[in-house]
Chains A and B, each alone.
Chain A
Amino acid sequence: QQPVQSPQAVILREGEDAVINCSSSKALYSVHWYRQKHGEAPVFLMILLKGGEQKGHEKISASFNEKKQQSSLYLTASQLSYSGTYFCGTEIDLNAGNMLTFGGGTRLMVKP
């Protein structure tokens, strides 16, 4: 089942922060985050594995709450280059193979 992302869209001014959430109805083994700019392929941001870890990538970080079956992507002091659509992809169980299910995406627009 497809994970649910919220919000569906967000508009920010440069320098503002944003949080994108990804929730699953099933227990998760891992969560992947991608960013896709218009007309381009998705680009990998980070992966979080079961264990409740938090990862960082420049001013973009993410957390994974295994108990709540959800992950959040944090964008701090947003830049114009952060604009795009963000997708979370979830893997429910290592033993279920490596099927990755993506959420519907969150469209982020950063304005000057």
Chain B
Amino acid sequence: EAQVTQNPRYLITVTGKKLTVTCSQNMNHEYMSWYRQDPGLGLRQIYYSMNVEVTDKGDVPEGYKVSRKEKRNFPLILESPSPNQTSLYFCASGSPITDTQYFGPGTRLTVL
């Protein structure tokens, strides 16, 4: 089954404790992206990647890092999370952006 998976689905952490949210797709898509969704602000793109070792900033990249060492994986790293990064995070993949984008189920992150 074609899918985008994210882990964990829910996470509560404390300020400053490094964390990684994993994203994996099994569709051999070149394009992957991370979004955060906040009430009243809609979906905002954090980072995207056009292919392995190719990443670029989206609208709100501050405080986040990504890596694309393999085509299927695109982890989101928060080196020192802060409460303003409490949000619902979605990973998406597509091939290329002019084709359908598939979203993962989302990761709800709370930073205390």
Could you list which residues of chain A lie within 8 angstroms of chain B, going by C-beta atoms?
2, 30, 32, 40-44, 47, 49, 87, 89, 91, 97-105
**When the two chains form their complex, are residues A102 and B43 in contact, meaning their CB atoms are under 8 A apart?**
yes
Q: How many residues on B have C-beta within 8 angstroms of the other chain's C-beta atoms?
A: 26
Q: Is B56 an interface residue (CB 8 A)?
A: yes
Could you list which residues of chain B lie within 8 angstroms of chain A, going by C-beta atoms?
31, 33, 35, 40-45, 48, 50, 56, 58-59, 90, 96-106
Bound Cα distance from A105 to B104, whole angstroms: 19
Q: What is the distance, in angstroms, from A101's C-beta to the closest C-beta of chain B?
A: 6
Bound Cα distance from A7 to B33, whole angstroms: 27
Would you mind naming 13 contact pairs between A and B with Cβ atoms under 8 Å apart? A30-B97, A42-B90, A44-B101, A47-B100, A97-B48, A97-B56, A98-B48, A98-B56, A99-B59, A100-B33, A100-B58, A102-B35, A104-B40
**When the two chains form their complex, are residues B97 and A91 in contact, meaning their CB atoms are under 8 A apart?**
yes
CB-CB nearest in chain B for A41: B103
